[in-house]
Structure formats: structure tokens, C-alpha cells
Structure 1
Amino acid sequence: MQISREAVLSQANKVCKNTLMETLEIEFVDFGEDFVTARMPVNSRVYQPDGVLHGGATVALAESVGSFAAHIFLNLNEVFVRGIEISANHLKSVKEGYVYAKATFIHRGRTTQLLQIRITDDNDNLISICKLTTIALPKK
């Protein structure tokens, strides 16, 4: 039985209640065979003191979407997933609107996974580029 795209996105957003993702208003908005996309509003909740998007909020968005990608593309009946390293290069500032994080796999191994997460603004300008390494560990 195949689960609908809407059902997967609804479930993903539902499990974000009472978490950092809810605090930052991160919402999963799309996924396909090899990607997951989430968005986050740029507002005072995610500003640094001078009124632009905080790099830490950007990294939280990147890790959220990358970890979710690892979760939906691995067999969670057998393993659990944890992020083990993330890096980010911030290229442009944003003051308003939304930022979108699209996670795609560079490597999808049984034990480790490497994802690239591109953060863009409402006009598809590249804001940040991130890489996330996750590990899948066996459930005992």
C-alpha cells in the first residue's frame, strides 16, 4: 500500500509539534524520490540582532530537513537515524519572506548518509549551502 504525498507531509508536520521545528515554524512542503523540501518564515523569531536571518536558524532548518530525508528514505523498522556532522556556508542575507531548504542525497549508504541542503529565498536565490552527515544505527 502506497501512502499519499499529503499523508507523509501531514505526518511529518504533526510530529514537529512541541519541538524546535514548531518554535521556528518549519513546515515540510514537498518530497519526491530523492529530495525533501521544508520552509521557514524569516521574521523576528529567527533574526540575529541586526534584523537578518540568523545562521543558526538556517542550520536548524537544514538539519531538520536533512534528517527527515534520511528518515523517510531508510527502513525505520530496523534503524534509527542521528545527525553526526553539519556544515554551512552562508552566502546571502534575508530579512523577510520564507527560506526553503531542499535536501538531496550525495551518498545513501546503509550506515552513513551524506546530504546536501540548499537554502533559497522566495526568488530562488541561494542563501546557504549545507552538508549533513547522518548515521543509521540498528534498533536493539
Structure 2
Amino acid sequence: MVPMTSDHMGALNEKLGVQLLEISAERMVGTMPVEGNTQPYGLLHGGASVALAETLGSTGAMVHAEQYGKIPVGVDINATHHRSATSGTVTGTATAIHLGRTSAAYEVVITDERGKRLCTSRITCALIDPR
């Protein structure tokens, strides 16, 4: 497991308030507050959900890629927004779909505090040689 520090999280995740709870190549779990991450109607911004999904999937891919001396770069992400949230904290769980030598893919499910699914995302990362 790769130790995660604030240097690894990046400025966007700091602004969004993302916190990582579980870190492994097979499963990543993180949270993000709704407050401060809303669109003009007071709903959780879809882009914030996608940023959380990308953080979880990319970090899982980073943990996986380390064994090959590779780094992950995102090549595809999509998201379906099922319902909205106006308060509280959302939780994202990224589950590995594929962990290969040249790519890694994750399904990310984002839920509210009641466990209701808000968003389903899928991210694919290519694993490339560092420069």
C-alpha cells in the first residue's frame, strides 16, 4: 500500500475536501462533503462527483501500477447521476474491474449518508512508463 500524504492528494482534492479512508489496488473508499461542492441550485455538483470518482480510481491504479514501475494516466471516465444530495457527506467506493499490466479500470459508486446511490462512474487508466 502506498502511504497517502497531502502532497499526493493535490490541490483540487484539498479544495473539495476529499478524504481517503481505504487505499488498495482492489478497493478505494473516500468521502467528500456536499457543502462547498454544490451547483447554483444547491445540489451536489456533478463535476465534484466525477472528481471524487477520478481521485479514487486513479489512486487505486497508482497503487496497482507501482509493482510494474508504471504510472497511471486517465484515458476514459464516465458518470451517470441517479439522484441529488443537498447536504451531508458522500462516500465513493471504487472497485477494480480490471488490473492489468498496461491498464486498470474501476467502477465507482457514490452514495449519500443513507446509502442511496447518487452516481455510478467508470474510469480507465493506462499504465505508462514514467518520464
* 1:72 to partner: Cα distance: 1.2
In structure 2, the residue matched to 1:86 is 77
Kindly indicate whether residue 31 of structure 2 is the aligned counterpart of residue 14 of structure 1. no
Query: What aligned pairs does 1:30-69 form with structure 2 within 5 A after superposition?
Result: 30-32=22-24, 34-43=26-35, 45-69=36-60
Contact 1:118-1:126 at 8 Å conserved across structures: yes
* TM-score (norm: length of structure 1): 0.86
Superposition RMSD in Å: 1.8
Contact 1:53-1:93 at 8 Å conserved across structures: yes
Aligned residues: 131
Secondary structure in structure 2 of the residue aligned to 1:74 = helix
Specify which structure has the bigger relative contact order, considering alpha-carbon pairs within 8 angstroms and separated by 6 or more residues. 2
In structure 2, the residue matched to 1:123 is 114
In structure 2, the residue matched to 1:26 is 18
Contact 1:117-1:131 at 8 Å conserved across structures: yes
* TM-score (norm: length of structure 2): 0.91
Q: In structure 1, how many angstroms separate the alpha carbons of the residues matched to 2:72 and 2:32? A: 23
Percent of matched pairs sharing the same residue: 31
Give the unaligned 5+ runs of structure 2. Answer: none
Q: In structure 1, how many angstroms separate the alpha carbons of the residues matched to 2:23 and 2:106? A: 14
**Bigger Cα Rg:** 1
Give the unaligned 5+ runs of structure 1. Answer: none
Structure 1 runs, 4 residues or longer, greater than 6 Å off: none
